[in-house]
Amino acid sequence: MKIILASGSPRRKEILENMNLKFDIIKSSIEETIIENENPKDLVKRLSYEKAFDVAKKNKGSIVIGSDTIVVLENQILGKPNDKKEAFEMLKNMSGKEHSVITGISMIYLDENKEIKDFCVSKVKFKELSDKDINAYIETGEYKDKAGAYGIQGIGSILVEYIKGDYFNIVGFPISYASEIFKNEFGINLFEINKNRFI
């Protein structure tokens, strides 16, 4: 059976490729709307499902993976900043504090009416950041298209004091949890796929 990633995220693509998984990419065309007072965990589950279903309904015979990642600081959802000013405000507010990174994950296989939607939470604490360092980070441009205005897999790692939970969830896709869904729901064992890879 075919596997499709319903995301244009280069980070999710890289994580799945590192598992030696064969898949196609078809980016979902849904609008990522936020419903007022929606719980962050419900939000990522809904958006990951909407992305997956949007692609799955046009691609029968395929397992379609949808995912959505948000950053939550003191119950406030931090999306992708629109400009440098907004990025600065986000990073300044997170300085010295712990925030949550929540990723929704959905897998849909319409041929067997299988629909799995769930989420994974990791905690990240930033160091105390000076305005100078925040501005220097923003000037790298890495903040663009990143929830919470930083990328932990890049230069943004310097901002971090510690993490609790799945690192790859913070990058954008909780591969360890996804591997359990693959195995338990679809009979795809990522260890089996990779057992001869390094021999």
Per-residue pLDDT of the chain (199 residues; tens, 9 = 90+): 899 999 999 999 999 999 999 999 999 999 888 888 899 999 999 999 999 999 999 999 999 999 999 999 999 999 889 999 999 999 999 999 999 999 999 999 999 999 999 999 999 999 999 999 999 999 999 999 898 999 999 999 999 999 999 999 999 999 999 999 999 999 999 999 998 777 6
CB contact set of 171 (below 8 Å; sequence gap of 6+): 11, 15, 151, 152, 153
Whether 147 and 67 have beta carbons less than 8 Å apart is answered as no
Query: Where along the chain do its domains lie?
Result: 2-194
Report domain 2-194's class.
alpha beta
Catalytic residue from among 54, 68, 118, 166 = 68
Whether 170 and 123 have beta carbons less than 8 Å apart is answered as no
42 is catalytic: no
Using alpha carbons only, what angle is made at residue 48 by residues 46 and 49, rounded to the nearest 5 degrees?
A: 65
